[in-house]
Structure formats: structure tokens, C-alpha cells
């Protein structure tokens, strides 16, 4: 349970990556922002809670890992996620992995926001997980496989093919030293097949498909645990939306919907 004085997520940097004029206006007004969140949450129940709380979950894992001496953080499909900025003061090298076009749009703003002495703590690794060899790209960027690492893989697996997911986990199995951690999230298999009992999940699946980025891969909780185990990762924590809300916001003070069609795991590399 979170402390009463603590926000669900402390992230003052995300707003700097919002470019749409209408969204920027919304962010300048607390009432408008709150109304927009309520509409979003009503339309796609569970998604907003998951996006916010998977970041909080990840921040907790990052803090624990860094506290234990892990000094390599890999962000797979980093997009405009601000994990690197939220950990700017930590003694950790961060490898941001994503398509070159996304990095070209993100990098100038990210480097402007970073404290000057820490601007070099991010290593930008252009990589398409459907086409490129992740292992080769990370090694070329200076990743040290003999040292423990934390890999964060959020908002990506549902857009990848099964082959790309297998290849990525295979690469991580050879790259991650024992004791390394992996944080990953996923959508339920029924969302991908169109059989989800959650109306919001069915709606968002149609939205992303119409946008040209359909959900391609989903998992059951037990299925994902088994897949990770097959690649040498033992799941240490596994939470769906309901569990995340219970853990971080049991009173649901923000009124976030608990539609339970997404999940996040933390796994540890337990073998080579």
C-alpha cells in the first residue's frame, strides 16, 4: 500500500513529449485533464490504470535493482517513456532501444531535460525487434553481459509477432547474467483473438488495428510465466490491473477502472 503522501506516479517529464496542440491545452488545465482521464477510463477501462501503475511498478523494481548494485538498465522499445529521466541521478548506464525514427524524435528533448553531467548516461541503440539482432546491437553499444542488468520491456510485446518475441527472449537469455531482472507487460490472449469479456479491451483492439498497429500477441498469466521459464527467467512478481490497484491505490481515490485484461511481471534470470 502506498504512503498517503505519495503520488501514484511522479513523472514531471512526460508533458515535454506531448506535441498535439489540443493535448497540450488539456495538460495546462487540471479540470480538463481530469475530465479527459475520466472519458479515457470509461472508454477503455483498465488501460489508464495499467499505464500509470506499470510505470510505478517499474520504478519500484528499478529502485530495488539499483540499490542492489545493478548498473545497466535496458529499455526495450523505449518509445517516449521517461524511465531514463526518472533515473537520471542514479549511477546506472541506460540503453534506450527503439526504432531510429522514434529516437530521432525523442533524443533532443530527452538530452535537453537531462542534467548536464548525466547526458552521457544514455546509450541510444537503434533496433527494430522484428528485423534486427538485439544481441549484436547491444554488444556494439557497450552492454556488458558479464554484469547484471535490468531489462524493461513495456507496451511492446502485444505489437510483436510470436517469432520476434521468441527471438528477443532468446537474445536476452544469452545477454543477461544470472541475477538480472526483466520487467515486461502483456495483453490477455482473448484481446488478440477478439473474445475478451471486457468491452473496453475490444474497443482498443479495434482502435489500434484501424491505426495500422494491431495487437499481434497475447498471453495468459500462466502461459507467459512458462515462456519466460523456458528462457531461464523465473517470475518473482506478477500483477494484473486489479492487483496493481489493490497494491498501490486500494481506495481507488482516482476512480480508475479495474478491467483486468493487462498484466505486468518481474522475472529474474536464474540460469545461463
Angle at 58 between CA 54 and CA 59, to 5 degrees: 120
Residue 43 three-state SS:
helix
Report the distance separating Cα 97 and Cα 103, nearest Å. 8
Each residue of 158-195: pLDDT tens digit? 999 999 999 999 999 999 999 999 999 999 999 999 99
Cβ-count burial of 109 within 10 angstroms (0-12 exposed, 13-18 middle, 19+ buried)? middle
Residue 255's pLDDT is 63
Q: Which is nearest to 88 in space by CA: 52, 113, 61? A: 113
Each residue of 99-119: pLDDT tens digit? 999 999 999 998 888 876 555
Each residue of 40-93: pLDDT tens digit? 888 889 998 899 999 999 999 999 999 999 999 999 999 999 999 888 878 899
Are residues 56 and 243 in contact, defined by beta-carbon separation less than 8 angstroms? no
Residue 31: half-sphere exposure toward Cβ, Cα within 13 Å = 0
Phi, psi values for residue 28, rounded to 5°: -85, -10
Amino acid at each position: 500500500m502506498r504512503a498517503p503522501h505519495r503520488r501514484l506516479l511522479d513523472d514531471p517529464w512526460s508533458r515535454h513529449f506531448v506535441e498535439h496542440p489540443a493535448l497540450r491545452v488539456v495538460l495546462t488545465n487540471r479540470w480538463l485533464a481530469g475530465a479527459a482521464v475520466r472519458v479515457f477510463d470509461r472508454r477503455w477501462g483498465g488501460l489508464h490504470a495499467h499505464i500509470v501503475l506499470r510505470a510505478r511498478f517499474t520504478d519500484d523494481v528499478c529502485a530495488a535493482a539499483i540499490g542492489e548494485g545493478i548498473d545497466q538498465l535496458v529499455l526495450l522499445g523505449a518509445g517516449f517513456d521517461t524511465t531514463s529521466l526518472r533515473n537520471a541521478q542514479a549511477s546506472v548506464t541506460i540503453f534506450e532501444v527503439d526504432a531510429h525514427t522514434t529516437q530521432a524524435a525523442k533524443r533532443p528533448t530527452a538530452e535537453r531535460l537531462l542534467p548536464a553531467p548525466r547526458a552521457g548516461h544514455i546509450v541510444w541503440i537503434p533496433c527494430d525487434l522484428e528485423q534486427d539482432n538485439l544481441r549484436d546491437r547491444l554488444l556494439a553499444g557497450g552492454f556488458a553481459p558479464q554484469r547484471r542488468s535490468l531489462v524493461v520491456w513495456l507496451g511492446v510485446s502485444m505489437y510483436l509477432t510470436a517469432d520476434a518475441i521468441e527471438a528477443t527472449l532468446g537474445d536476452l537469455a544469452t545477454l543477461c547474467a544470472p541475477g538480472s531482472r526483466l520487467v515486461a507487460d502483456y495483453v490477455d490472449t482473448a484481446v488478440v483473438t477478439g473474445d475478451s469479456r471486457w468491452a473496453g479491451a475490444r474497443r482498443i483492439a479495434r482502435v489500434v488495428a484501424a491505426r495500422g498497429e494491431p495487437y499481434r500477441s497475447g498471453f495468459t498469466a500462466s502461459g507467459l510465466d512458462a515462456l519466460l521459464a523456458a528462457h531461464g527467467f523465473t517470475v518473482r512478481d506478477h500483477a494484473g490491473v486489479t492487483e496493481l490497484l489493490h497494491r498501490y491505490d486500494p481506495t481507488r481515490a482516482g476512480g480508475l477502472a479495474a478491467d483486468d485484461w493487462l498484466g505486468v511481471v518481474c522475472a529474474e534470470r536464474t540460469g545461463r
